[in-house]
Chains A and B, each alone.
Chain A
Amino acid sequence: MKVLVIEDNQDLASNIMSYLTREGYVCELASNQTTAIDKLSTFQYDCVVLDIMLPDGNGLDILQHIKSSRLKSGVLIISAKNSLDDKVHGLELGADDYLTKPFHLPELNARLKAIYRRKYLEGDHLISFSEISINIDTMEVFVNDTLLDLTRKEYSLLVYFITNQNRVLTRQTIAEHLWGDYADNLLNFDFVYQHVKNLRKKIIQADGHDYIETVYGLGYKFNNNSAK
């Protein structure tokens, strides 16, 4: 996947770039509106990570440019403004998703992948990882061709893990992904543990390998090298 990151803050941009590069994406950076529009007109990107506040303009103008030039790129807006208007406005202009700062990098990755899947892999509803295959349309999960009986949350958790393989996912990151706003005031993450435990159990029961590894003190990791 080829991604253009439009972000004026060097540090934040480098965070995003290193996370996404390690994910195997080809990443390019534009730190202002002019460069961004230049790059967009020259190259083709699958996804654009777009900061709304830029030194020489508003990110929404770039979004309009993308739409009016009929570029196929998916657009993920990142903004410090958690304002509803901006969100609605951005999505109305044709952005595919909206993420509020501060965000977790795995969450950014998951959202980008989801956009990519929706936009480019229209015929392909399957995510496969060794013996696990997920049908994202029917939300069914098979392990060695056995249908797993997963709850909605366990399903989302598994997709999140597979999207962020070999990454340490903290309990906060997972909680925020699964519960969104509801996780806001509940900083008790025992329930993440509960869900991970159940998911593991169900995969193992279906003769799957236990890929989910507990990282001491931090959270969990979906380890794709642990398969023997």
Chain B
Amino acid sequence: MKLIHKFTLLYLLITVVVLIIGGVFSYHVIKKEVDKEQTRYLKRNVDFTMQELSRGIYPDSLFQNKMEIQTLDMSVPEIEFFVRDTLVWLNYLKRFEPQVKVSASRKIGDQHYYISTYGAIVDTQDITDAVVKSISGIFLIMLFVTALVSVLISRKILKPFNRTLREMKSFRLNEKRPLALMNTSTSEFKRLNLLLEKMTDKMQDDYAALKEFSENASHELQTPLSIIMGKLELMMESDISDEQAKLIHSAQNAVDKLSKMGQSLSLLTKLGNREFDSPGPINLSALVKECLFAFQELLEMKSLTLEDEIEDDVMISLHPVLANILLNNLMSNAIRHNMMGGLIKVTLNQDRLEIANTGEPLTYPAEEMFERFRKNDPNSQSIGLGLAIVKQICNQNDLQICYEYRGVVHVLQISFKMLSNSA
């Protein structure tokens, strides 16, 4: 439930309670006023009748509706005005109605008259109706206005807040774009925006520093590696024993691996920096064919059967260097994790690229497949960054990659949004 709805509902609930109490209160106030007026009128009526009586007019001729005149014994003391409520049967309403009754007695000459009269200007039912009607009217107006205002307010007052939410949602640590927050006069939102701006600035600074460090580190690594590699090569030229040759060879393997790891990590960093913007759509079909051709020998070496279904002129928007890295990594992966005499199936059409290969099942959960340094065989010579790079390339270019193990076949599928068909 939205905040503004909560506020509005709570407000309306309070309004209902207040209106009910107010209604009861108004009813009583009105009733009291009406009764007061009624009493005065009745009193005047009684007074008038008394005067008429004292002028010697005969009581019977003073008879009127809702009034009775009786004679009391002279010994009974005079009764001053006595007001009370009474229930009167009303024929036209078919029920008893509370009405005001005023009675008094006076000794006029040798007679003691008792006069009692009752009546109501307004029925209590009418008062109730009027109060309920006016209160409901007020409530309806309130409801309408509140709803309208709450919609408008949420649009206007919450606009900066919603903007902030949108900005935070689209915030990427590796983009150097600052948050475009809206100016607001609401102090809570001001504080929120200020806090978020500070936080994101700090995050971006830290991230940039970290990135720069890893970038420099992987660059700086290359020179000493070059030196080691060269020294080992020079050492091989000298007169060495078989035992030494073996040592040199394994040292060389390690240097090689280290250098490749450094290159891969720096590639990942560069991907993170978005240094490869797509210059426009490229013909993926041609690249896939080229790549398959280049891997031909390696396929034969492992006696792998290649099946391909490649549609012509599949265009996607991707930097050609990245496309090459992507295809190479996927293909070499499919070859490396294959078995002798296995199968590789490459399918490319307008919606997707699919590379399926036979192979042993994974030794780790499939979700971890794209993590860095994830390897099926810890002793393998691969560095375990290939698929992490593939994943990174896909993420940054709106390509969806997913993995499936169907029977004995590993399937990696990349689905893309197509730009256009053949040009």
Contact = CB atoms under 8 A, between A and B. Distances in A.
A163 B10 CA distance: 88
Contacts of B225: 101-102
12 contacts: A12-B226, A81-B219, A168-B233, A182-B328, A184-B328, A184-B332, A185-B332, A186-B332, A216-B242, A216-B245, A218-B248, A218-B249
B211 interface: no
B382 A102 contact: no
B295 interface: yes
Contact of A101 (B223, B237, B242, B301): B223
A9 B386 contact: no
Contacts of A215: 236, 245
Instruction: Give the size range of A's interface with the partner.
Output: 35 or more
Contacts of A184: 260, 328, 332
Name B's interface SS.
helix
B26 interface: no
A167 B266 CA distance: 32
Contact of A18 (B220, B229, B234, B257): B234
Nearest to B302: A188
A172 B321 contact: no
A226 interface: no
B298 interface: yes
Contact of A168 (B236, B267, B297): B236
Contact of A82 (B223, B231, B266, B386): B266
B233 A19 contact: yes
Contacts of A181: 324, 328
A182 B294 CA distance: 8
A218 B229 contact: no
A191 B298 contact: yes
A106 B223 contact: no
A71 interface: no
B123 interface: no
Given A170-B249, A187-B382, A217-B245, A80 B256 contact: no
Contact of A12 (B230, B260, B267): B230
A187 to B, nearest CB: 4
B184 interface: no
Contacts of A138: none
A19 B219 CA distance: 24
A108 B275 CA distance: 28
A153 interface: yes
A187 B381 contact: yes
Contact of A103 (B229, B301, B382): B229
Of the listed residues B219, B223, B260, B301, the one surrounded by the most CB atoms of chain A closer than 10 A to its CB is B223
A9 B260 CA distance: 21
A105 interface: yes
B347 interface: no
Given A181-B328, A190-B301, 10 more contacts: A9-B223, A82-B266, A83-B270, A102-B222, A168-B237, A182-B298, A182-B328, A186-B332, A218-B236, A218-B245
B1 interface: no
Lowest 10 A-B CB distances belong to which pairs?
A: A15-B230, A187-B381, A102-B226, A80-B222, A217-B245, A101-B222, A102-B225, A185-B332, A168-B236, A101-B226
Contacts, number: 118
A84 interface: yes
A16 interface: yes
A104 B229 contact: yes
B219 A186 contact: no
Contacts of B219: 80-81
A228 interface: no
Interface string B289-321: 000001101100100000000000000000001
Interface string A189-219: 0110010000000000000000000011110
Contacts of A18: 234
Contacts of A38: none
Interface of B: 219-220, 222-223, 225-231, 233-234, 236-237, 242, 245-246, 248-249, 252-253, 255-257, 259-260, 263, 266-267, 270, 275-276, 294-295, 297-298, 301, 321, 324, 328-329, 332-333, 335-336, 381-382, 386
A80 B333 contact: no
B246 A217 contact: yes
Interface in A1-56: 9, 11-12, 15-16, 18-19, 22
Contact of A185 (B229, B246, B333): B333
A179 B298 CA distance: 10
Contacts of B386: 185
Contacts of B245: 215-218
Contacts of A170: 233, 236, 249, 252
B230 A153 contact: no
Contacts of B223: 9, 12, 80, 101-102
Nearest to A180: B294
Contact of B230 (A16, A194, A217): A16
A191 B226 contact: no
A212 to B, nearest CB: 16
A43 B266 CA distance: 38
A172 B301 contact: no
Given A19-B230, A80-B223, A182-B328, A217 B242 contact: yes
A83 B386 CA distance: 18
A217 B222 CA distance: 26
A102 B266 contact: no
Contact of B229 (A85, A102, A216): A102
A185 B252 contact: no
A184 to B, nearest CB: 6
B227 A172 contact: no
Contacts of B298: 182, 186, 191
Contacts of B233: 15, 19, 104-106, 168, 170, 173
Contact of A15 (B222, B234, B294, B336): B234
